[in-house]
Homo-oligomer: A and B are copies of this chain.
């Protein structure tokens, strides 16, 4: 029961399949069911284009009423705690708070705020990003119809990724085989349970899905390793046009974006026929509709006369 949707740990393989089915139905044109007014607010304490805009779109397609909230113009600037801010929004009648926040597991302290307010986590620090995981799964499912036996390579900044761990965990549970590559020092022990580290030249030719992870640009702007430049990363750990020619013709690229063009992936490949990077963004809207709907159903939002929600 998704009374809140805050972590990939909540998602069973059955849940994942049900959410994918529902998102694919929305994408195929199934209209969102009518409901009593439900009020959403999006609280983004970190900058975002894709996730923020995608949730805004999903909310409107579901028929939610969206109340604007800008953290920089809120009482957070007067020292109000996040918990008091969320309690305030609950008192005002917000039913769904979509939150991105730089603090890991910020949501733990907010789970019990109110029976009339649900949280959807849009990313916490270096922690969870469940809607990204779900849209990744949807994109793979849409492409291949099934997860069993798929070979999936996850490449890049494993230690800073909000989704690599969740994706690896869920894909393994769904029957896929996961491998990792990129700078070896970023392959932390927690990943070993899911699959092996494989040098990039060996990994690329055998995978069905190449999931590239964004490298934080700050990585390249320090003195620690002057030899570590965008160009050297691309040559060693990025997918060049030459390397891409060793891929299976049916294999696809994925990336959570924004892509550093010619770093993780040669720019021309970002827009090429094997890229599903913009498909991921497109699918994200429908997946977020499915996730928000799951939360509304678990909480019975919209099912009851509207004014009852506010009592």
Do B52 and A93 have beta carbons less than 8 Å apart? Answer: no
Kindly supply a per-residue 1/0 record for chain A positions 49-84, scoring 1 wherever the CB is within 8 Å of any chain B CB and 0 otherwise.
110111011001100010111101111111111001
A53 vs B20: C-alpha distance when bound (angstroms): 34
Tell me if A91 counts as interface (CB < 8 A to partner B): yes
Question: Is A305's CB within 8 Å of the partner chain B?
Answer: yes
Tell me if B92 and A258 are in contact (CB < 8 A). Answer: no
Check if A88 sits within 8 Å of B57, measured CB to CB. no
A187 → chain B, closest Cβ, in Å? 25
Q: Mark A296-307 against chain B: 1 for CB-CB distance below 8 A, else 0.
A: 000000000101
Asked whether, in the complex, the Cβ of B87 is within 8 Å of the Cβ of A278, the reply is: yes
Report A265 CB to chain B, min CB distance, Å: 12
Task: Indicate if A237 sits at the interface (CB-CB under 8 A).
Answer: no
Shortest CB-to-CB span from A10 to chain B, Å, is 25
Chain B: CB-nearest residue to A306: B29
**Interface residue A201 (Cβ < 8 Å from any Cβ of B):** no
- Interface SS, A side: helix
A residues near B, CB below 8 A?
A: 27-29, 37, 39, 41, 44, 47-50, 52-54, 56-57, 60-61, 65, 67-70, 72-81, 84-85, 87-94, 217, 257-261, 278-279, 281-282, 284-285, 305, 307-308, 310-311
Tell me whether A281 and B65 are in contact (CB under 8 A).
no
| Contact across chains for A48 and B75 when beta carbons are under 8 A apart | yes
13 contacts between A and B (CB under 8 A): A27-B307, A44-B73, A47-B73, A49-B74, A53-B88, A60-B65, A68-B68, A75-B258, A87-B278, A88-B257, A91-B279, A91-B281, A92-B282
Of A87, A261, A305, most B-chain CB atoms within 10 Å: A87
Identify 16 new A-B residue pairs, CB closer than 8 A, beyond the known A50-B75, A50-B92. A27-B307, A27-B311, A39-B60, A44-B73, A47-B72, A49-B89, A53-B69, A53-B92, A56-B67, A57-B67, A60-B67, A72-B73, A79-B217, A84-B261, A88-B257, A282-B310
* Distance from A234 Cβ to chain B, minimum over Cβ atoms (Å): 16
* A28, A44, A69, A281: most-surrounded residue (chain B CB, <10 A): A281
Q: Is the CB of B282 within 8 A of A91?
A: yes
Contacts of A91 in B (CB 8 A): 278-279, 281-282
Structural contact, A84 and B285, CB atoms closer than 8 A: no
Q: Which residues of B contact A29 (CB under 8 A)?
A: 305, 307-308
Known: A92-B53, A92-B57. Is A84-B305 also a contact (CB below 8 A)? no
